[in-house]
């Protein structure tokens, strides 16, 4: 009994120490920088989307954005710094999913923990993309190939087709949620809004425009996955880049793509602002 009590006490101390580390000021600063790094990547994706609308070339996904980042002056430094920032934000969100919200009602707690866990996966994915480029193993279009390969492999697995359709629908629904969040301005509750009215208005406009654009992109990406799966054309499931190119192929698609690209740039600026205004401990 005494030994069991000692083990429980040691485990409790280890959990407490881990929580203290993940709530440290240093990690918070790095995690805030993660929002800014994500913002820069969204800016670049938006710029590539506008370039595609104007007849240019490029991969309008995060590997394409990171490829462009790597060509800038001090590219290696930017890649490693962005990797560290996104990894820190992924760790911060993981900490939220594990340690936070425990005093909330069960349903609300489960929702917030799931959201934090999903955000952790998103930023971990960005961190891995940045790491591959920092180490010299990444290339533009990696996300596109990864999405296509994942679709091919899952379609071969038992129950894979159903799982892919569900995944596509889930991503599309997430896009709708993003758009609604933007239109309702519900993102504001996660920020310490500026006191200056003009600054508040600017943040709100960036958030509304950015969230709606991000929602449209996610909706198209999820729809593309579901349609490619149902039509048994896994090569058509090409992630974010494929969703934006599909938009370009629609009537007035060039203008719609340019508008979405501008919206993604707004989202990128919003995320950079969020690095300063985010409520990290809620």
Helix, strand or coil for residue 278?
strand
pLDDT per position as a tens digit, 10-21: 545 544 444 555
How far is C-alpha 146 from the chain's CA centre? 16
Q: How far apart are CA 61 and CA 176, in angstroms?
A: 20
Q: How many CA atoms lie within 13 A of 217 on its CB side?
A: 28
pLDDT (tens, 9 = 90+) of the chain, 282 residues, equals 455 565 555 545 544 444 555 567 888 899 999 999 999 999 999 999 899 888 887 787 788 888 888 888 888 899 999 999 999 999 998 888 887 666 767 777 787 788 888 888 989 988 988 998 888 876 665 555 666 666 666 666 677 778 878 888 898 999 999 999 999 999 998 899 998 999 999 999 999 999 999 998 889 888 877 777 777 665 555 667 777 777 777 778 888 889 989 999 999 999 999 999 988 765
State residue 227's pLDDT score: 79
Q: How far apart are CA 6 and CA 149, in angstroms?
A: 48
Q: How far apart are CA 175 and CA 260, in angstroms?
A: 13
Residues 6+ apart with CB under 8 A from 183: 208, 211, 212
Q: How far apart are CA 178 and CA 79, in angstroms?
A: 27
Cβ-contact 258, 50 below 8 angstroms: yes
Cβ neighbours around 22 below 10 Å, total: 20
Helix, strand or coil for residue 191?
strand
Domain range list for the chain: 23-277
pTM beyond cutoff 0.85:
no
Q: In 3-state terms, the chain is what percent helix, strand and coil (to 5)? A: 80, 0, 20
């Amino acid at each position: 009994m005494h030994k069991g009590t000692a083990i429980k006490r040691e485990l409790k101390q280890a959990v407490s120490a881990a929580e203290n580390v993940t709530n440290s000021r240093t990690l918070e600063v790095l995690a805030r920088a993660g929002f800014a790094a994500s913002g820069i990547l969204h800016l670049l994706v938006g710029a590539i989307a506008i370039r595609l609308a104007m007849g240019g070339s490029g991969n309008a996904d995060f590997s394409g954005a990171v490829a462009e980042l790597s060509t800038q002056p001090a590219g290696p430094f930017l890649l490693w710094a962005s990797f560290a920032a996104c990894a820190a934000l992924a760790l911060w969100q993981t900490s939220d999913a594990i340690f936070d919200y425990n005093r909330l009602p069960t349903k609300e707690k489960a929702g917030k923990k799931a959201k934090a866990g999903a955000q952790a996966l998103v930023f971990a994915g960005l961190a891995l993309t940045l790491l591959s480029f920092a180490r010299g193993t990444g290339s533009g279009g990696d996300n596109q190939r990864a999405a296509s390969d994942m679709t091919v492999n899952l379609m071969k697995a038992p129950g894979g087709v159903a799982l892919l359709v569900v995944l596509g629908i889930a991503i599309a629904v997430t896009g709708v949620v993003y758009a609604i969040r933007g239109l309702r301005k519900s993102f504001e509750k996660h920020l310490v809004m500026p006191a200056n009215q003009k600054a508040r208005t600017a943040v709100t406009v960036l958030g509304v425009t950015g969230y709606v654009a991000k929602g449209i992109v996610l909706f198209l990406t999820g729809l593309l996955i579901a349609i490619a799966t149902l039509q048994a054309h896994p090569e058509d499931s090409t992630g974010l880049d494929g969703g934006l190119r599909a938009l370009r192929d629609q009537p007035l698609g060039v203008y719609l793509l340019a508008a979405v690209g501008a919206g993604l740039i707004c989202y990128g600026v919003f995320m950079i602002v969020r690095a300063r205004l985010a409520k990290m401990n809620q």
